[in-house]
Chain A
Amino acid sequence: MFDRDRWSEIFEAIGKNKLRTFLSGFTVALGILIFTILLGLGNGLLNSFLSSFVDDAQNIIFVRSGNTSKAYKGFQENRKIQFKNEDLEFIKDNYPGQVEFVTPRVYRGGTARYGKESGTYNIRAVNPDHQYLEKTIMMKGRYLNQADIKDRTKNIVIGRLIEKDLFKKEDALGKMLDIDGIPYKIIGVFQDSGGDNEERLIYMSYKTVQLLYGNNDHVSQINLSYNMAMSTEQAIAFSKKIEEDFKERLKVAPEDQSGVRVQSFAEDIKETMVILGGIYMIIFVIGIGTLISGVIGIGNIMTFSVKERTKELGIRKALGASPRSIIAMVLQESVLITSIAGYLGLILGILVLKLIGNNLEKFFILNPKVDTGVIMVATMVLIFFGLLAGYIPARRAARIKPIIALRDE
């Protein structure tokens, strides 16, 4: 296999039979190229599909309150349900191992002013867990921490677009921002993939808001995420359990749809997974189809190549080449060509995908990319079947009697 003489013999044969080399190499390169591009586009489709879910954590559960729609346990209907800090503690205490992150949200609005610039923005008063639930990405500075909660600090984190609106080209980090007459210190600037509105938000400690606006312990909404180890069914059951528990705590009728509302994406995810499975299936079928046609192409080329070489192989046999050395020569040559051509096809395919980039976003193809491992496996498969496809004609060539091979046409 690593005989230098044999390799030089093979390199010579490859170098001097350019058409044959080109044909078999071209088939493989084309096969891998198409496979890479199709797989990449498929992944792009997948990416664009997934990107509609990445704004928030996928395992998030929203707990919201409203006005009751039914009289229950002596309470009139249309009673306003108000969450309080104790409801937050209830979630922290009662579902050990099931809750990953949990944060309250207190909604406010305010007019922020820096120098001559001002604007009205929504305020979300939260705790540090909110960063993970909302997938907030810090551009500079830091997010809120436990000390901000405990000490009721007047630290705020602002969206990228607020910095742009109010500070123009200045760096907002560390500056004081006046909101409704109270000065706050900007400790961080964030970005968020949820769109412009998500990037025009102000985050601050929920306890600060509770203190400054009414000195109460009111909470507008509670967001939490369940443990990812849970199955979809378990997650759906878990969100139902929270709903039941809250309705009981806050004396809301179990069938009341508006007093307490718990929303989770578990069911959406379940549907999504089904669609994803479908997309994967299509990619898989296309991939296999491409590979099969590639293998058939290689088989044809190999048959043609061996046929074309019948006479040469006959001469070699007459000069003392053993059948084994004939087979080895033919196969080594084909493996060499398929490997190099496969690699070229792979590089070319990746280049094409790079060029496509996000240009096809209109067609729901986002950031098409391929997993190098998958392509490597595909190349191996092609080489292997190329070998197999080459082996049959090579063996026939090795078996053919030199006298028949050398017969004049």
Chain B
Amino acid sequence: MIEIKDLHKSYQMGSNSLHVLKGIDFNVKEGELVAIMGSSGSGKSTLLNILGMLDEADSGTYFLDNVPIEGLNETKAAQYRNQFLGFVFQSFNLINYKTALENVALPLYYQRKKRKERIDKALEYLGKVGLAEWATHLPSELSGGQKQRVAIARALAADPKVLLADEPTGALDSKTSYEVMDIIQTINDEGKTILVVTHEPDIADMCKRIVHLKDGVIVEDKKVEQIRASQYVR
């Protein structure tokens, strides 16, 4: 599903440049649930942003579902993001003047789906994260955990190939974190490929594979026995 080879990325910080990714080789197969771990500054978010086409690599190759991702113009990148990827952010990034339902329906709007279809699909995915009753509420009326579940529903609504989650539990307490991870595991069980960036070991342990990044290189890549989040959720 994801194939990257020798990926490099540096940022210009005033006069000196900061080499963030120093040659990453990394493959993800369909249906995997991968945790990307590392301390802050290890380059994990940068990697995720490049995978999400939110940022561009300086060199290296990147294939997503066998499509080469390089030299994309903004319009093409937007189209690919819409078609291939779903995003979940640490700070939820819901549009604050739109209701939960409208937020979930937004990627479908950019897929030019009909209004009726958008609403049906959005309701379906809201139901999937257990928030069907909250459809007409604004983000400001939801708890942090609920917001993140809306964000997950939104990421899923466009039926992407890959779900990218950047510290999805970073702003949540451990109980809600597990609730969110439970949902992520359920989605993965249904076959969705998911990448989770996190620095919390207990969250990483709930994935099937852990990739450790340190100073811009992968130092460890191991399969783990998945701990189910459902046992912590009543």
Residues of A within 8 A of B (CB): 5, 9, 12-13, 16-17, 311-312, 314-325, 398-399, 401-403, 406, 408
Query: What is the bound-complex CA distance between A311 and B106, given in angstroms?
Result: 15
A19–chain B nearest beta-carbon distance, Å: 11
Binary CB contact string for chain B from 80 to 99 against chain A (1 if under 8 A, 0 otherwise): 01110001011101110110
CB atoms of B98 and A12 under 8 A apart: yes
Does B54 count as interface, using CB distance less than 8 angstroms? Answer: yes
B12–chain A nearest beta-carbon distance, Å: 14
Query: What is the bound-complex CA distance between A323 and B73, given in angstroms?
Result: 10
Which residue of A has the minimal Cβ distance to B160? A320
Binary CB contact string for chain B from 96 to 118 against chain A (1 if under 8 A, 0 otherwise): 01100010001101110001000
Contact of A401 among B55, B87, B91, B102 (CB under 8 A): B55
Q: Which 5 A-B pairs have the closest CB atoms?
A: A320-B82, A16-B97, A320-B110, A403-B54, A319-B107
B151–chain A nearest beta-carbon distance, Å: 10
Q: Which residues of B contact A324 (CB under 8 A)?
A: 75
CB atoms of A315 and B83 under 8 A apart: no
20 A-B residue pairs with Cβ-Cβ distance under 8 Å, sorted by A, are A5-B109, A5-B115, A13-B97, A17-B97, A314-B93, A315-B95, A317-B78, A317-B81, A319-B82, A319-B106, A319-B154, A319-B158, A321-B78, A321-B110, A322-B74, A322-B75, A322-B79, A323-B75, A406-B89, A406-B91
CB atoms of B79 and A320 under 8 A apart: yes
CB atoms of B79 and A403 under 8 A apart: no
CB atoms of B93 and A403 under 8 A apart: no
Number of interface residues of B (CB under 8 A): 29
Binary CB contact string for chain B from 47 to 85 against chain A (1 if under 8 A, 0 otherwise): 001001011000000000000000000110011011100
Q: Helix, strand, loop or mixed for chain A's interface? A: helix
Q: Which residues of B contact A16 (CB under 8 A)?
A: 97-98
CB atoms of B91 and A318 under 8 A apart: no
B168–chain A nearest beta-carbon distance, Å: 14
Beyond A5-B115, A17-B97, whether A320 also contacts B54 by CB under 8 A is no
Q: Which residues of B contact A9 (CB under 8 A)?
A: 109
Contact of A322 among B78, B95, B97, B102 (CB under 8 A): B78
Residues of B within 8 A of A (CB): 49, 52, 54-55, 74-75, 78-79, 81-83, 87, 89-91, 93-95, 97-98, 102, 106-107, 109-111, 115, 154, 158
Q: Which residues of A contact B154 (CB under 8 A)?
A: 319
B140–chain A nearest beta-carbon distance, Å: 12
Indicate the member of B82, B83, B90, B102 with the most A CB atoms within 10 Å. Answer: B82
Please name 6 further chain A to chain B contacts, defined as beta carbons within 8 Å, in addition to the given A320-B83, A323-B75, A406-B91, sorted by A numbering.
A314-B93, A316-B95, A316-B106, A319-B158, A320-B79, A402-B54
Beyond A322-B74, A322-B78, A322-B79, whether A315 also contacts B93 by CB under 8 A is yes
B121–chain A nearest beta-carbon distance, Å: 14
A284–chain B nearest beta-carbon distance, Å: 43
Query: What is the bound-complex CA distance between A325 and B95, given in angstroms?
Result: 17
Q: Which residues of B contact A403 (CB under 8 A)?
A: 49, 54-55
B206–chain A nearest beta-carbon distance, Å: 24
Which residue of A has the minimal Cβ distance to B155? A319
Q: Which residues of B contact A321 (CB under 8 A)?
A: 78, 110
Which residue of A has the minimal Cβ distance to B84? A320
Q: Which residues of A contact B90 (CB under 8 A)?
A: 408
CB atoms of A320 and B158 under 8 A apart: yes
Q: Which residues of A contact B75 (CB under 8 A)?
A: 322-324
Beyond A311-B93, A315-B93, A403-B49, whether A320 also contacts B98 by CB under 8 A is no
Contact of A312 among B55, B82, B95 (CB under 8 A): B95
Query: What is the bound-complex CA distance between A402 and B93, given in angstroms?
Result: 11
Beyond A318-B81, A320-B78, A399-B74, whether A325 also contacts B97 by CB under 8 A is no
Q: Which residues of A contact B158 (CB under 8 A)?
A: 319-320
Query: What is the bound-complex CA distance between A39 and B215, given in angstroms?
Result: 68
Contact of B87 among A12, A318, A398 (CB under 8 A): A318
B156–chain A nearest beta-carbon distance, Å: 12
Query: What is the bound-complex CA distance between A399 and B95, given in angstroms?
Result: 19
Which residue of A has the minimal Cβ distance to B49? A403
Query: What is the bound-complex CA distance between A322 and B77, given in angstroms?
Result: 8
Q: Which residues of B contact A317 (CB under 8 A)?
A: 78, 81
Which residue of B has the minimal Cβ distance to A314? B93
Q: Which residues of B contact A316 (CB under 8 A)?
A: 95, 106, 110
CB atoms of A320 and B93 under 8 A apart: no
B20–chain A nearest beta-carbon distance, Å: 13
Query: What is the bound-complex CA distance between A5 and B115, given in angstroms?
Result: 8
Q: Which residues of A contact B79 (CB under 8 A)?
A: 320, 322
Query: What is the bound-complex CA distance between A323 and B81, given in angstroms?
Result: 13
Which residue of A has the minimal Cβ distance to B73? A323
Contact of A319 among B49, B55, B110, B115 (CB under 8 A): B110
